[in-house]
Amino acid sequence: MQRQPAGYAPAAPTIRGEIKAARKQDISMQDTVVRVICAIGQSGQLGLHGVLPWEGDRRPEFVADVARFFDITRGHVLLAGPKTIGAVPEFARRDRTLVVLRSHMDPVETLKQYAGRVVFIGGGPPVWDVYAPFVSHWDITRLPYDGPADRWFNPKWLTMGGNANA
């Protein structure tokens, strides 16, 4: 069984001060719901060499997970890095708002653009390290994968959420 390496700790979010400042300024992202939907392996695996470790697995539970992702995000906003947005198939581009996140984009200002909408944050650890304080709901599917990985789910993201004005 593959486990996270001892001493594993992803980069700490660098926006805590910005979040506090945003609260003080009473930035309103009224009724914006920020969510994450993701799948992890049995030991918390998220990625391997820049892709999902189970990429291309045609077993029913893996196919169902992909279909569920597209069903749940339909009609909503998906904010993610360029690789994740680039992987969205053509059929799914028509019925959701896709936004490529860049490291220079301020999370508060970015989320304010989608006030009143449901916003899903995709893209994995680098993106979630920044956006986790805004996430009010994590929808996590645990898949029957227990192989190697170089990216892991960080349970600390779960306790950071919902604390920012989102």
Give the pLDDT confidence score for residue 23 in this predicted structure.
Answer: 46
Give the pLDDT confidence score for residue 165 in this predicted structure.
Answer: 52
For the question of whether the overall pTM of this predicted structure is more than 0.85, the answer is no
Of residues 121, 74, 129, 73, the one with CA closest to residue 101: 121
Question: pLDDT by residue (tens digit) across 18-33?
Answer: 555 554 344 455 679 9
44 close to 152: Cβ distance less than 8 angstroms: yes
Architecture of domain 27-160: 3-Layer(aba) Sandwich (3.40)
Low-confidence ranges of the chain (pLDDT < 70): 1-30, 162-166
